[in-house]
Amino acid sequence: MDSQDIYQRYCAGDRDFRGWDLSGINLSKINLSQADLSQANLSKARLSGANLSQVNLTQANLKSADLCDADLRGADLTDADLKSAFLLRAKLTDSKLEGTNLKWASLMQVTPSNIDLSKAIIGGTIMPLGYSSGY
């Protein structure tokens, strides 16, 4: 399975990619808005510039994924594992981050508006400039 296969399925109307193993795949700049990627393995995937708005990523494995400039607005990342993920300039407005593992993740240059990290798992996380969590 490669990025072209995923894109063709998405364009054909398929939005169900639950549990798929997409580890290491290059999905940079792809549009998967409103897809279901819950429990998918996206570890070490390249998702820079991808449109992942309103995507279901609950319990997804995104360890060490490149999400630089990705659009994750309104995405459900509940219980997702983003350990050591790179989220430089990612758009996280209104995303659900309850139980999300963000240990050692980089949130540099993420705009801290409408982001609630109070229920996320952090430790060694590079936080966005100006973010105040009240921990």
Task: Please tell me the CATH superfamily of domain 1-135, with its number.
Answer: E3 ubiquitin-protein ligase SopA (2.160.20.80)
Confidence grade of residue 127 (pLDDT, cut at 50, 70, 90): confident
67-92 pLDDT tens trace: 999 999 999 999 999 999 999 999 99
Query: Where is pLDDT greater, at 131 or 11?
Result: 11
Q: Are 61 and 44 in contact (CB under 8 A)?
A: no
How confident is the model over 16-24, as a mean pLDDT?
98
Distance CA 23, CA 83 (A): 14
The residue extents of the domains of the chain are 1-135
Confidence grade of residue 128 (pLDDT, cut at 50, 70, 90): confident
Out of 1-5, 21-25, 30-34, pick the least confident. Answer: 1-5
CA 65 to chain centre: 8
Burial 28-56 (b: 16+ CB within 10 A, else e): bebebbebbbbbbbbbbbbbbbbbbbbbb
34-48 pLDDT tens trace: 999 999 999 999 999
Task: Give the pLDDT confidence score for residue 130 in this predicted structure.
Answer: 65
Distance CA 90, CA 69 (A): 4
Share of the chain above pLDDT 90, in %: 84
